[in-house]
């Protein structure tokens, strides 16, 4: 997918406020808020009931959270699953029950990886792999979210998911911590990547910080801050930084129908598409 332009969107119709506007709004989520908290504040300020988000960020994570507004909430699957980029910090010598530094410490180690060991271990984790979601994730098991079970001290069996790690880029490497960027598939848990990396290194590791910088086709350069969202006039904000639904859906392949095929669809019949008629690039 190609990235959308930073500014885009159409102002709401004269006199209609923003209630008829549908599309996506990239936002830079601050630390200490759940993704749902951001959605609720967007609902209040924009005066819109239909607001959702694409791809949950943990409360202590920051960065790109794409809001779906209006009719875009009904086709969120179109934009989910794209590649992600995260900037993070791994802390060595510790293993916790949440796989980040805010959890209960299960093990400590005095061992620390050398830079060659760290780079080699990360290199061996590239490509497709099965990942067991952490208990603090929002996945539902038996109708209940895992993080709700974890808060009660309940641990359940989780089916592994197929994920893909495309690149690790190590930015700074010190004795106890290292900062990195990682490119991965949608649905990848970076805290689990760091945990598994620590297991490979034999010293343990936990996630100390996380910031999402890209969620294909968006980047942080296109995102507004929560403060901007709450201080700006809604229609002006959406005109400046929103991506209207018709533009957002351009990531899908398109097929132009003639009058006969269009009429057939109106009567519930599927159009006949010849091989190669739709460009999938």
Angle value at C-alpha 182, between 179 and 188, nearest 5 degrees: 120
Q: Count of CB atoms within 10 A of residue 207's CB? A: 28
> Over the stretch 197-256, which tens digit does the pLDDT of each residue have?
999 999 999 999 999 999 988 999 999 999 999 999 999 999 999 999 999 888 877 777
Q: Does the annotation count 102 as an active-site position?
A: no
Reading phi first (left if > 0) and then psi (alpha if -120 to 50, else beta), residue 134 is in beta
Cα separation, 35 vs 53, whole angstroms: 7
8's tokens: 């885009």
User: Which entry of 58, 100, 183, 196 is annotated as an active-site residue?
Assistant: 58
28's tokens: 């830079």
Query: What is residue 4's predicted lDDT score, i.e. its pLDDT?
Result: 52
The single residue listed with the structure tokens 């300020």 is: 45
Query: What is residue 101's predicted lDDT score, i.e. its pLDDT?
Result: 95
Strands, E, within the chain: which ranges? 23-29, 51-54, 62-69, 84-92, 94-96, 105-108, 127-131, 140-141, 144-145, 161-173, 177-184, 205-215, 218-219, 224-225, 243-244
Q: Is the pTM of this model over 0.75?
A: yes
Q: Does position 56 have pLDDT exceeding 90, yes or no?
A: no
Cα separation, 280 vs 274, whole angstroms: 14
Question: What would the mean pLDDT of 250-266 be, rounded to a whole number?
Answer: 81
Residues 6+ apart with CB under 8 A from 174: none
Mean pLDDT in the chain? Answer: 87
């Amino acid at each position: 997918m190609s990235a959308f332009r930073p500014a885009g969107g159409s102002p709401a119709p004269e006199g209609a406020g923003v209630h008829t506007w549908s599309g996506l709004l990239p936002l830079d989520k601050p630390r200490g808020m759940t993704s749902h908290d951001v959605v609720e504040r967007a609902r209040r300020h924009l005066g819109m009931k239909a607001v959702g988000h694409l791809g949950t960020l943990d409360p202590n994570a920051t960065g790109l959270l794409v809001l779906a507004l209006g009719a875009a909430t009904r086709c969120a699957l179109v934009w989910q699953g794209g590649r992600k980029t995260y900037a993070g910090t791994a802390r060595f010598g510790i293993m916790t029950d949440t796989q980040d530094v805010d959890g209960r410490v299960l093990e400590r180690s005095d061992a620390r990886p050398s830079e060659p060991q760290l780079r080699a271990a990360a290199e061996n984790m590239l490509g497709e792999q099965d990942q067991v979601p952490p208990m603090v994730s929002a996945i539902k098991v038996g109708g209940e979210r895992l993080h709700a079970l974890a808060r009660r001290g309940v641990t359940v069996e989780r089916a592994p998911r197929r994920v893909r790690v495309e690149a690790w880029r190590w930015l700074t490497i010190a004795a106890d911590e290292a900062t990195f960027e990682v490119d991965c598939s949608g649905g990848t848990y970076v805290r689990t990547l760091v945990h598994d990396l620590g297991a490979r290194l034999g010293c343990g590791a936990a996630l100390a910080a996380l910031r999402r910088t890209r969620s294909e086709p968006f980047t942080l350069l296109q995102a507004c801050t929560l403060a901007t969202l709450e201080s700006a006039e809604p229609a002006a904000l959406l005109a400046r930084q929103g991506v209207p639904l018709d533009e957002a859906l351009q990531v899908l392949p398109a097929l132009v129908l003639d009058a006969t095929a269009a009429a057939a669809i109106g009567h519930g019949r599927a159009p006949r598409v010849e091989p190669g008629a739709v460009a999938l690039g």
